[in-house]
Chains A and B, each alone.
Chain A
């Protein structure tokens, strides 16, 4: 089947289009969205196994040969990320079917969620830089819809900011692509990778590289371009927030990973630049994570720490550090989605986002409490759980590269992460109940815990199965270390 890489993009798109015909049939919407996501998941697993056996798969859309048409490239990296994001969206939609009211669900919310997955999967799979921009817009426009849906005052205020930042970032993206096209004269990633070393004035390439880091850094919330993130994310409803926190910033990180290893690895300047950004992001994230007593904000600042850690691994650009970055990227997508769902449930039960209003939850909801505890330990990277291997490899890579400051900062950041989430656990679940908890989610508690628990189980299994995952991770890293593999797979002579 030569079209295998398009299915993770096309199936959710087709489902979303069909759902547009019947927005009021809430039950049909739920069943169909979940069904489509299951099929997408099955296809993406098949894709992972096909790629692991046959190597990189490419589809030249419209049967036009490689540098002239749009190519979709499924290497192991994109196949793994597509699978991860599909799993996450599946559990979030399952969660959302119990979380949202019928009136909310009948306003195209599943259509927007599925289109968001289309954009994310497309951005992971595309092999063309302008097509990457288009898929960015697909998921950004879906995210605008999702962030404003509901129409509360705070949502309107923050969505204006979010929209403004992203429109500016998108305009910069177009300008960066225009500059790149002006210098090199091609848009296919593989062809660009081939022709960029031939450009005489390498300084121009460095400037464009920095411009791309600014663009993707705005999407991925790198310091000093992170200022929009806490406010915009904190107003979104829980399932939407879980989706944003798990997927959107990570697409920015993936784009930096792809363009930096393939196109702009042109000298020590870019590396220093990325390392400085990564260190700043970790430091600001650490500060935010311990500063707040609002459970949503604590997890939101943890996103920034994770982005910084992954970016540090990417910037080093060695075999070990890239493996670590990919391990950590997938782990972080899974666990952040789970954590946002968990803190959303805490808020739904206690009726407040502040830690001082919570307490004693574990006596009434023991399963919920221990699920949160395991997710918290997993986030911090306690050895048998999933956060450990990624950070270990990144630290190893940093030390092997002769850098001591970075690895020490990453280890220190783990401590801060642990502190911030254990703070939630101690204040929220331990102690005495502050009042009668009868928030709107209490009747749904037994149903909401199921998808959350399963997602945490996936993350735990990912940690315990690290050995089984290793061949896939190694294969995903190959085209990043040696771009020739990627170029040869796309441009067949």
Chain B
């Protein structure tokens, strides 16, 4: 328990964690965007991102993580809910039923012509909520004495 007092040298763990962190993040983003056509989506993507953050938490400590990534995860949950809610609500302004999604083709710089669907915004909401909730649980349990 008293790790702060011992001089523990975690150089292998910390070096590996920093490298693996980015691999996991890339994988989670891939999972997130893959959701529409292949297995994946907001839920696993968010969980995987949270797993990467937990890896940092294991290799370093919660203060370091809070310094590097200064997010308030409760606010992140709320932001995710707002995004999901607004995505569901936008259709009522076009006089369509709630939760009706829309898509269109866009000519994006670098990426070329891509189809964008409002379902991805909903998924982004799910993604943020999953990260927010997971990290809130882990941080709250971790910091309580």
Which of A's residues lie within 8 Å of B, judged by CB? 2-3, 6, 10, 13-14, 17-18, 20-21, 23, 59-63
Contacts and interface: CB of A to CB of B under 8 A. Distances in A.
A13 B92 CA distance: 16
Contact of B98 (A3, A17, A20, A23): A3
B75 A21 contact: yes
Contacts of A17: 78, 81-82, 85
Contacts of A61: 97-100
Contacts of B81: 17, 20
Given A10-B85, A63-B100, 11 more contacts: A3-B97, A10-B98, A13-B85, A17-B81, A20-B77, A20-B81, A23-B74, A59-B98, A60-B97, A62-B100, A63-B97
B111 to A, nearest CB: 27
Closest 10 CB pairs of A and B: A20-B78, A62-B99, A63-B100, A17-B81, A61-B99, A6-B98, A3-B92, A59-B97, A63-B97, A21-B78
Contacts of A18: 78, 82
A63 B96 contact: yes
A62 B74 contact: no
16 contacts: A2-B95, A3-B92, A6-B92, A6-B98, A17-B78, A17-B82, A17-B85, A20-B74, A20-B77, A20-B81, A23-B74, A60-B97, A61-B100, A62-B97, A62-B100, A63-B96
A17 B125 CA distance: 12
Contacts of B101: 62
Interface string B86-105: 00010010011111110000
A247 to B, nearest CB: 23
Q: Is the interface of B mostly helix, strand, loop or mixed?
A: helix
Interface of B: 74-75, 77-78, 81-82, 85, 89, 92, 95-101
Contacts of B75: 20-21
A21 B75 CA distance: 6
A424 B4 CA distance: 60
A2 B85 contact: no
Contacts of B89: 10, 14
A202 B101 CA distance: 40
A130 to B, nearest CB: 15
A20 B82 CA distance: 10
A182 B25 CA distance: 40
A60 B96 CA distance: 10
Given A20-B77, A20-B78, A14 B97 contact: no
Contacts of A14: 85, 89
A107 to B, nearest CB: 12
A126 B100 CA distance: 17
A21 B77 CA distance: 9
Contacts of B97: 2-3, 59-63
A20 B79 CA distance: 9
Nearest to B72: A21
Contacts of B100: 61-63
Contacts of A3: 92, 97-98
Contacts of B95: 2
A3 B93 CA distance: 10
Nearest to A61: B99
B55 to A, nearest CB: 27
Nearest to A3: B92
Nearest to A6: B98
A5 to B, nearest CB: 9
Contacts of A62: 97-101
A2 B100 CA distance: 13
A448 to B, nearest CB: 31
Contacts of A20: 74-75, 77-78, 81
